[in-house]
Every structure is written in structure tokens, then in C-alpha cells.
Structure 1
Amino acid sequence: MKRILLILAFSLLLPALYSFDLFLEEQPSRITTFTVKAGGGLYRDEQFLTDSKLSFAAEQNGQRYRSVAQLSYDVLENRLEADELSISLFARNLTIKGGLFTHPWGSASTSHVVDVLSSRDLRDGFVDDLEAMKRPSAMLLASSYFKNSSLDLAFKPGFSPSYLVTEGRYSLVPTAFGSATITEPDTSNLGSWEAGGRYRTSLGNLDMGLLYFNGHHSDPGFTITAFDSVTFLPTSLNLTYTRYQLFGMEGSLLFDPFTLALEGGFFLSEDKDGTDSSLYNSRFAYLAELSYTHPASSAFLALAYQGRYILDYSSANPVDVDYLASYDGKAYENTLLMVVEYPFMQQRLTARAAVTYNIESEGYAVLTSLSYALEDNLSVFLKGTVYGAAGTKSSLYKSWDDNDSLQVGMKAWF
């Protein structure tokens, strides 16, 4: 109850806090939204699935600024989090944005290989919303817009890694490390800074972009500091995050109603010769996506191929992080993705399905949903999630096969 009252207090105080009314004579516009989402269902292992979240969003817009506050409260986990707390200032063709937020890089819609400004949040497994699987981080972003081009310059005073789920049904810790004490480094200091830029330009129906980023792999490597003398399993681990430099490109070509999107990059690791087993090696990553949007119905279909190739790969060391993160002991990885969305009944009913299939592990994830808008501010939904593998090879998909679920619920906006 105290958390709910705190959110309500934010809804009253934040617009005034960010208003800048003391400095500007203009009358700003304010938008406040309160969202309730509740659902329930069953997992494959017959455990009950519950989902109950409250969200608050306050936005204030002036001629020369914009302030945003978005908070979410997980009722079941008793967890209050900030999804965005940011202030943007506008001066002609320049926008400066600071605070806690996410900012997308990349041209595809199903997945990305150059969207490196935000790490992943897999506490709820895979969801069919890329933005919902991102962890916001403290950032200063300067964006300049020209006639046919734009430039982003980003600086992050610290590094927010992917959420490491160490227990529960979505745990990311290997079974052999399940009883180990895990020590995480402090990545919020200036020594963990990240910075980079993206330049985009348009040539008719072709959009192209070049990127550079100096940052960290969002997933950790590790060093084993202690073993069990009987089982020889690790009992103590120190996590470490690999610094890299990304040299990337992205682009999209529109030939209505089709769009071809391409992304690619070279991640130059601080472990340039690939000899440190706790650090990720240098790698190439690439993605190609073909999507189709029906002009009349807005039906959407996208097919994508995503891959990577690791340099200096070796399977000789069983605790090398590149070997542990690979599938079937190979230096390469290939994944196929498909997304289809179709609206019915004058777009009040929407059916959506997303499929991911990893070729090396034969693992797959299938996400399906039906949503029906009862009113403009009220909808009900039915969601199904299936994880598994076509064969017997181990993978994240196979280890999550008990997380197959079916869920019904509602979402309301006020």
C-alpha cells in the first residue's frame, strides 16, 4: 500500500518538479497516464502464473523542453522501478537529453545487433516487445538533425549490465555454478564509462547509418576463485565485463510495401588475441530482415536472419566464456526469426506471433498473443509462450522448457 501511495504522490509532484515554469513564460502541455495490468495463467509444470503491474507516466512539453517520468510497480514482487526519468532541451536542430532512459540504434524490427546502448532484461524470459526487454541506464545524449541526415552522440557515466537472474525459473546461471558465491563488480562509477556516436543519412528510399561505440558486453564473463575439494565444482566466482569497440553499420531500403533492413558490426575486444578465458573474444555480428506491411489492413510480416562469428575461438578450455556461450561447440551462431501481426474487426482484435529458431542448438521460442480492445482505454489479452528444442542439444531454450505458459489478463489506461 505504501508503494502505491508513493506512485500517486509522484503523479502529483513530478510534473511540477520538471516544469521549468520558474524560468519560462510559456504555458506547457501536460500528459499524465496511469496503467493497470493484471493477468493469470499456468506454466507447463502446473504452477500458477500471475502478473500484476501498475505504471505511471507523466510528460510535460514546452517549446524548448520535454520532461518524462515513467515508473512501474510490480505488485507481486513488491518492486518499484523507474523506466524513464529524463529531461530534453531543444535548440534549433539540436536536442540534448539527459537522465535515465533507453535509446534505440538499428534498422530492423525483429531483433538488432548494433542496438548497444541498453542491456537486456530477461527476468520474465522472452517477450515480443524489444523495448520491454531493455534495461534503462543513465545517459547523456546529443542529437542533431539536418535536412537529410542526423547525428547522435552518447555518453554514459557508468555501465548497467544485463540483469543476472540467479534463481527461479528464468535463472541464467549454469547448473554447475548453481551453488557458487557470485561477486559482481561496481559498474556505476566513471571508470566504467561508455561513449559513441551514430550518423544516419537518407538517399531517397535508402537510409544508411554508421556507428562507433566504446563500451562493454552486457553479459558477464567470470573468473573462478575457489573450487569444492570433492566435486571440483566452483564455489566462488568473480564476474567481469569485457570492454569492446564497435564499428558498425545499419541501413534500410523501402520498396513499398516491402522493407529490407541490414545491420552489421565488428566488436573489437580488449582481449585482442583471445587468450583471456574470462573475457569475450572479438566477433562479427550481422542481421538481414525483409518485412512486408499491407497498405489497407496494416498486417505485418517480417523474416530475419541473424548471425555471429567469434575470432580466435577455442574449445580446449571448458570454462572459457566464449565456449560456454556458444552452441554445439561452434565459433558461429545462426538464428532465424519470424514475426506476423494481423488486425481484425477494424483493428480492435489483433493477433500476433513471433518465432525464434537457433540452428546450432535446434532451440526455439514461440510467442503468441491475442488482444481485443473493449474500449479505447481498456483491452483484454490472451498470451501463449513455448520454449523447447527440436533435438537433444542443450541450450537456454531447452532449459526453459518448463516455462511454457498460457496467460489471460486485462490492461486499462486512465
Structure 2
Amino acid sequence: MKKIKFIGLFTAALFTAGFAFADDFDFGDDFGSDFGGDFGDSSASFAGGALEVNGEAQIDFRAYFDDENEYGLPVDEWKTDTTPKGKINLKYSNSAVSAEAKFAFSKDVLENYREDVIDELTLESYLGNFVVQAGKMKVVWGKGDKLHAIDNFNANDYTDFIIPDYIDRRIAEPMIRVLYNVPKDVGPFSSSRFELVWTPTMTADRYAASGRWVPAQVAGLKSELTNKAGTAIVVQGVNAGTANAELASIMASASTDEQKLAAKNKAVNAQSLYTAMLSNSSSLADNLYPDTKQLKYMQAGARFTTTTGSLDWGLSYYVGRDKRASFDNSKIDSFVSTYLSKGSADDDDKFIDYDFLQVFGLEAAKTFGAYNFRAEGAYNLTKDTAGDDPKVHNNSVGWVFGFDRDLPLSELNMNVQFQGKYILNHDKINDLGVLDTESGTFENDNKVVVNISDSWNHGKVKPEVSAVYGFQHYDLIVMPKITWYVSDGLEFCAKGMYMASYKSEKTEFEGWHNNGFVQLGAKYTF
């Protein structure tokens, strides 16, 4: 059962705290998108409004390096990827309404996630102090600097690991959003904002199904399911062979017609089931997850933000689903049996689901001298308040706090943020002797994210280096980068990544030790 432990590690480490910093940390730029230079004005007027068109075209050349491959043998050649992609943004607005559509194009989107060609689609109406939005949208909650504890509505796309910019990794969700801006002359709530959000469905965090960025824990789960399916098929093959042998024996003996018919039906049914199981096994690992495009997976939330003196702060409430998977170990065998025999399984038969979740959030930001501080705190309430339900994540407390400041040398800026989580009733995990969703987790999980950047040659050259270190997992990521803004809209970028996991197990980046890449890219923004 060693590989089954991967399920616990995956949902506990990777889904619980793993990649949490990646939800928000910025590994790329998303700078200006205005028309300029030889292209003239980016807008055109239509019936009292204006149509804006902008976008970008980008191509990256990436070469991966590893000390060892998956078999522990030296790697003699660097694997390379060439990734072209682009965006087109259209926006129409007048004094009362606006409509904006953002289109994204890449090989992965066009081949595997065609619905994401429409990256976002937002319809917005201005009704006095109210703003009403509807569409396929991305909403960010929290004062954190691209690192959050209370941002829950949109899931994350990790198919290219944590390399794209934060907002590009977020998966847009159909939603309705209502904002109310309190007038400036209304007592203590002056300049405050109230916000309501509702989504009819939920999208879960997305991981690579093949290639380099498949997490080791996901690969382990699929391997275990493949082994279980193989065992079941072998058993059914033996059953079919036994049934055929019994039929041959009965046909050769002085048996009655009823006995011969019964033996024949038994052999035919056994052989049919064996053939079906062989056929269905190829799609087993692709049908593990429930359909979250149902109202029972809807999400809602309310947020209040305001300013008191020089302190920006806010309160929020979210109710919906955890984007990390949880699992019911007791259903795995029955799921495999059901799927192999039928070629499908109802959601109630599946062993993976997404926990009902409520999040109570607090956020704040304030400047002290040269330091800009920000913080977020969250109480994550699931249905496992006692901490002893192996199918559900325990309640937890999460936080983000950090600062940035300019340094007195060149144009250096330093940004330091800490992210952590404390799992309540951690000692109750595995109390029942059953593998728990959070098996393999730490009671405390803390990491630090540091970014140091500079600007040279009047802002035309911008070097930076980022690093992430996990205190409990001993995981490390280092990312150097330098961008050259050649001319209006055109930039060249060279960057790299190195990863290490200094523990043999319970690591967030298991399977990627001494993994990394170097990358050259060009982007034109128009």
C-alpha cells in the first residue's frame, strides 16, 4: 500500500499547503498593453463609447536540466520546449456600461482546454454607487502582494507548474459580482466598499496529466489505480478461462440442455466482462473526479474593505468548496470495480471529492516609514471540526504577512513575505487506523518568499531574483531573471529556475529534486 500513501501526501501536502505560495507569487511580468508608436490610437468611438484593442504575442525557448532522470541515470541531453502564445483583449465602454473580452491562445489551451480560449468575459454596469458585473471572471481578494490566504473563488492552473504570472495561473469562473462604494461623506464608513460574489459552479485546481510537471504524488496515485485495475482484470481473465473450461466439460458430457445453456451463458458473460474491463481500463485514470459543474458546488462570499487613518483593512466571508481534492480510501476498490465493469461511475461512487468550506478572513496593509506592510489571516472551517474524519480536511488557520521596501543602493527593492498554515486537531489524523486525506502533513507548514529587483539604464533593463524556501519540507526554488525592454512594446527576457527537495519524503516537490531550466523569450505588447 505504499503507493496509496501518495494520495494522502498529494491531497495533504500538495493540495493542503503545497503550491500555496504559487497561488500568488509572480514569476513573470504583465506590463502595459496600450497602443503606441507606429500603431496609433488603441481605441475607436462607437455610439458614445470607445472600443479598445490590445494584446501580446510571446514565444519562449526553454531547456530543462536534471542531474538524474526518473531512473537515476545521468542526463546527457537537455530537453527543450518552444512555446508560442498570445492574447487579444477587446473592451468597449461608455458612461453606463462596459464589456471586456480577453482571449488566450497556446498549444495547451487549444488542445486540452478549449473553453479557456475565452480567458475572461466581463459585462459591467454602473448604477450610481453600485457596480454590477457578470461573466467569466477572475476576482482577487486580499491585501497580500501576489501571495494570499483569503483568495478562494478561482482555482489554479499548474499544468506549467508555478511559472506563469499569478493572474495567468488563475482559472476564470462564471460569476456575478456586486460592488457598493460608500459615498465619501457617510460618517465612519466613508470611502468603504461592500462586495458580494456568487458563482453557480466550481473549478478545481488543475494539474498536468502528462509530461514533466505531473506531480510525483499524482503519478503514484495513477500507478496504484493501474495496478489495482490490472489485478482485477487478471482475476476476471481467470474467471473467464474457468467458465470456458466448465462449458467445454459440460458440452462433452451427458448434461441436460438447461445445464449446457446455463454454462454457455456463464462463459459468454464472463468473457464479455473481461473484454469490457480491458477496454475500460485505458480511461480509468482520466475519470476520477466528480462533475463540479453542478449547483451543489456553487460559491458565494461577502467582503468589506475600508481605510481607518492610514490603515487599509477588510473583513471577508467565503462559502463554497476547497479547490484541493479530498479522498475516501474506503471507496477506491469499489470504484475500480464499478468503472471497469460499466465504463463509468456516478459521482457518489468516486473516491475523490472537494470539501465544503467556509473561510473567515481578515486583511490589512499599512506603511511605516520606508516599509510597506501587508497581512492576511484566514480561519478555514470544514465539516471535520473534530479532526477525525479521514475523508475531509481538518479545520485550519492560514496567514500571510510581509513587507517591501526600497534599498539605498541603485534602485533595489526587496520584498519578503511569509506564508503559513496550522492544522487544528492534527493529532487526530489517522486516529481510526484509516489512511487520512491529510496523512503525511505537518501540523505547521511555513515558507518564506523573497524577491530582490533592480532597474538599470533608465528602466530599460530590470534584473531580479526570487527564492522560496519551505521550513518544514526543506524545499527550495531559486529563480533569476533579467528583462530588457528594447523599444515600445518589445522586450527580451532571460530567466531560469532551480528546484531542490532536501528530504526523501513528505516534500512538496517530490520528483523534482535538482530539476530546473533556463529560458529565453521575446514578447511584443500592442
Q: Which residue of 2 aligns with 1:377?
A: 489
Q: Deviations over 1:162-206 (max 9, x none)?
A: 113333211134443123235211111211111011101101221
Separation (CA, whole Å) in 1 of partners of 2:412 and 2:163: 20
Is residue 159–residue 206 contact of structure 2 (8 Å, CA) maintained in 1? yes
Q: Which residue of 2 aligns with 1:5?
A: none
Q: Which residue of 2 aligns with 1:10?
A: none
The amino acid of 1:305's aligned partner reads F
**Of 180, 198, 211, which residue of structure 1 is paired with 2:316?**
211
Separation (CA, whole Å) in 1 of partners of 2:291 and 2:108: 28
Give 1:57 shift: 0.8
Is residue 286–residue 307 contact of structure 1 (8 Å, CA) maintained in 2? yes
Q: Which residue of 2 aligns with 1:160?
A: 203
Does residue 259 of structure 1 match 2:375? no
User: For residues 319 and 20 of structure 1, do their structure 2 counterparts lie closer, same or farther at Cα, with a shift above 3 Å needed?
Assistant: farther
Separation (CA, whole Å) in 2 of partners of 1:76 and 1:136: 16
The amino acid of 1:177's aligned partner reads L
Q: Which residue of 1 aligns with 2:438?
A: 322
TM-score (normalised: structure 1): 0.86
Q: Which residue of 1 aligns with 2:385?
A: 272
**Of 118, 138, 150, which residue of structure 2 is paired with 1:102?**
138
Give 1:319 shift: 3.0
User: For residues 396 and 124 of structure 1, do their structure 2 counterparts lie closer, same or farther at Cα, with a shift above 3 Å needed?
Assistant: same
The amino acid of 2:166's aligned partner reads L
Q: Which residue of 1 aligns with 2:299?
A: 194
Q: Which residue of 2 aligns with 1:305?
A: 418
Does residue 238 of structure 1 match 2:351? yes
Q: Which residue of 1 aligns with 2:222?
A: 178
Q: SS of the counterpart of 1:78?
A: helix
Q: Deviations over 1:57-90 (max 9, x none)?
A: 1111211112111111113663442221111111
Q: Which residue of 2 aligns with 1:67?
A: 99
User: For residues 388 and 134 of structure 1, do their structure 2 counterparts lie closer, same or farther at Cα, with a shift above 3 Å needed?
Assistant: same
Is residue 198–residue 209 contact of structure 1 (8 Å, CA) maintained in 2? yes
Larger deviation, residues 134-143 vs 175-184: 175-184
Unaligned 5+ residue runs, structure 2?
Answer: 1-43, 67-77, 185-190, 226-284, 335-348
Is residue 52–residue 76 contact of structure 1 (8 Å, CA) maintained in 2? no
Q: Which residue of 2 aligns with 1:56?
A: 88
The amino acid of 1:145's aligned partner reads N
Is residue 110–residue 339 contact of structure 1 (8 Å, CA) maintained in 2? no
Give 1:252 shift: 0.4
Q: Which has the higher contact order (CA 8 A, sep 6+)?
A: 2
Is residue 54–residue 75 contact of structure 1 (8 Å, CA) maintained in 2? no
Give 1:345 shift: 1.1
CA RMSD of aligned residues (A): 2.4
Is residue 49–residue 407 contact of structure 1 (8 Å, CA) maintained in 2? no
TM-score (normalised: structure 2): 0.68
Q: Which residue of 2 aligns with 1:333?
A: 445
Q: SS of the counterpart of 2:509?
A: helix
Give 1:251 shift: 0.3
Percentage identity across paired residues of the two chains: 20
Q: Deviations over 1:363-402 (max 9, x none)?
A: 0122222111111111111110111124444423242236
Unaligned 5+ residue runs, structure 1?
Answer: 1-18, 229-235
The amino acid of 1:218's aligned partner reads K
Give 1:27 shift: 1.5
Separation (CA, whole Å) in 2 of partners of 1:384 and 1:96: 41
**Of 28, 48, 51, which residue of structure 2 is paired with 1:27?**
48
Give 1:246 shift: 0.8
Give 1:157 shift: 0.7
The amino acid of 1:161's aligned partner reads A
Does residue 151 of structure 1 match 2:194? yes
Is residue 388–residue 400 contact of structure 1 (8 Å, CA) maintained in 2? yes
Separation (CA, whole Å) in 1 of partners of 2:128 and 2:407: 36
Is residue 362–residue 393 contact of structure 1 (8 Å, CA) maintained in 2? no
The amino acid of 1:257's aligned partner reads A
Separation (CA, whole Å) in 2 of partners of 1:247 and 1:112: 13
Separation (CA, whole Å) in 1 of partners of 2:434 and 2:487: 55
Larger deviation, residues 60-69 vs 163-172: 163-172
Separation (CA, whole Å) in 2 of partners of 1:247 and 1:240: 22
The number of equivalent residue pairs is 381
Q: Which structure is higher in helix share?
A: 2
Q: Deviations over 1:147-174 (max 9, x none)?
A: 3211111001111111133332111344
Q: Which structure is higher in strand share?
A: 1
User: For residues 207 and 77 of structure 1, do their structure 2 counterparts lie closer, same or farther at Cα, with a shift above 3 Å needed?
Assistant: closer
Q: Computing the radius of gyration over CA atoms, which structure comes out larger, 1 or 2?
A: 2
Separation (CA, whole Å) in 1 of partners of 2:207 and 2:469: 23
User: For residues 76 and 157 of structure 1, do their structure 2 counterparts lie closer, same or farther at Cα, with a shift above 3 Å needed?
Assistant: closer
User: For residues 402 and 390 of structure 1, do their structure 2 counterparts lie closer, same or farther at Cα, with a shift above 3 Å needed?
Assistant: closer
Q: Which residue of 2 aligns with 1:291?
A: 404
